[in-house]
Amino acid sequence: MTAPALFWFRQDLRLADNPALEAACRKPVLPVFLLDDEAAGTWRAGGAARWWLHRSLAALDTALRTRGAALHLARGRAVEVIPALAARIGANEVHAGLLYEPWARKRDAEVAERLRAEGGTLFLHSSALLHEPHTLRSGQGRPYAAFTPFARALFGKGEPPAPFRAPQELSGLELPGLALEALELLPSDEPAWWQGMEESWRPGEAGAQSRLARFMAEGLRGYGEGRDRPAIEGTARLSPHLRWGEVSPRQAWHAARAAGAEGDHGFLKELLWRDFSYHLLWHRPEMPEAPLARRFEAFPAVRDMRLLRRWQRGRTGFPLVDAGMRQLWQTGWMHNRVRMVASSVLVKHLLQPWQDGAAWFWDTLVDADLASNSASWQWIGGSGADASPFFRVFNPVLQGERFDPEGDYVRRWVPELADVPRRFVHRPWAMPGGPPAPYPTPLVAPEEGRRRALDAFARMRAAEAA
């Protein structure tokens, strides 16, 4: 009799183009999802991501059942639970997708050692990226530290392998596990919060494929310009589906090619930016917590919880920023251009630690991804690899007037400004009588915020030179 295999779902919650599942399902298979918050520690999934995970696991179980298997849910320490489940079903093979977070790499090494001691093997398969970070080196034999040469090298490698179809039938093993509700993923204390996400998203592989098809049909052609306009649906909105592996980057890449994306099309570059973030995390595991450019450890940020709270709640007085922060709170997502501006205002105008902003995004984004979140905040703060120079300070007023010229995005998310004339919508404090109540005046004037940021940067450089 053929020994069964255990398949361990992690951040690859799909059936199609899943190399680990393809390898496991050659045998009778037990599909498992394990919630291991202890190993993740500080980086356990945040509230919005946990809502998404709940819905995605429900969709995954439904898809598995149509093919002859069911999802076994468990909770606990992977180093104990996974070997115990493998022993219980008589499996000497455990298959899973590669993970890149420092805590996950440590955990996988411990699970592999425990399985090996019991006569089993953990097989890790590439399924989350286009190219594995440990295989990439510059011409000097070092990890890439800048995106442009990284992207040039990857485009030079040619097309990634074509994705493959989902298995049509699985020989699933029956083993009762926890009910989905027992994982306690839904934020029970804030049902009104995640109700907005319910109305905005369709988690799961089917939802991912629907979103991908819609973008390829309606959004890819105008992506270059549309992606910077927050008032229109000009972005792919695939990031949460990619974060949980409901769609693979190879599927997205080849769908874009089939839809007419040529050369180094902007959408393909965004997929490579995602790979680049993981490349950085793999080689610089301190990235989520410490500046990659060590001199920024001396940056004179002063934590002010009042300022942070005003920023979190969309009460900075900068309409574009406040619209983005309210969109984030209500839907679990924020437009990419607005993310950059909102992040810049927190770090530069308000001189707050980038780690505090990253922590808020981690808890409130449905696409909260440790590699991309950390790399993006370090890019804004000037401390990351290939980062935006610190002296590049986004002006939230000019950014709003350029990318939301009619004010439609602001009016949608900041109802206090719904009736403000177009010429004042991004600077309501300039209206006769000031902004309409209860909308606040800016926490700091745009020009003053820029000056303070440059002064702080100058003080850091002076201290470095001393």
Local confidence band at 384 (pLDDT 50, 70, 90 cut-offs): confident
Last residue of a domain, one of 127, 152, 171: 127
Is residue 180 in a domain?
no
Is residue 166 in a domain?
no
CA distance 275 to 282: 10
Which pLDDT tens digit goes with each residue over 386-400? 766 777 899 999 999
Query: Which pair of tokens denotes residue 31?
Result: 């599909």
Cα separation of the two ends of the chain = 73
CA distance 95 to 122: 6
List the domain range (segments joined by +) for residue 83.
Answer: 5-127
**Domain match, 208 and 342 both:** no
Query: Which pair of tokens denotes residue 208?
Result: 């991912």
**Domain match, 269 and 241 both:** yes
Is residue 105 in a domain?
yes
Local confidence band at 56 (pLDDT 50, 70, 90 cut-offs): very high
Local confidence band at 347 (pLDDT 50, 70, 90 cut-offs): very high
CATH number at residue 324: 1.10.579.10
Span 423-449, mean pLDDT?
96
Residue 416 predicted with pLDDT over 70: yes
CB 220 within 8 A of CB 181: no
**Domain match, 119 and 268 both:** no
Last residue of a domain, one of 72, 104, 127: 127
- Mean residue pLDDT of the chain comes to 95
**Domain match, 315 and 340 both:** yes
DSSP 309-336: HHHHTT-SS-HHHHHHHHHHHHHS---H
CA distance 327 to 314: 9
What does the buried/exposed string (b/e) look like for 169-199 if buried means 16 or more CB atoms within 10 Å of the residue's CB? ebebbeeebeebeebebbbeeeeebbeebee
- Supply the pLDDT for residue 68: 96
Last residue of a domain, one of 127, 151, 172: 127
Q: What's the farthest any 2 CA atoms get from each other in the chain? A: 83
This prediction's pTM: 0.96
CATH number at residue 10: 3.40.50.620
Task: Give the chain's domain count.
Answer: 3
Is residue 177 in a domain?
no
The total of other beta-carbon atoms located within 10 Å of residue 416's CB is: 17
**Domain match, 147 and 244 both:** yes
Which pLDDT tens digit goes with each residue over 244-269? 999 999 999 999 999 999 989 999 99
Which pLDDT tens digit goes with each residue over 158-192? 999 999 999 999 999 989 999 999 999 997 766 67
**Domain match, 276 and 315 both:** no
Residue 47 predicted with pLDDT over 70: yes
- Supply the pLDDT for residue 1: 60
Which pLDDT tens digit goes with each residue over 92-133? 999 999 999 999 999 999 999 999 999 999 999 999 999 999
Residue 293 burial (CB < 10 Å; 0-12/13-18/19+)? middle
Residue 77 main-chain phi, psi, to 5 deg:
-80, 125
**Domain match, 206 and 103 both:** no
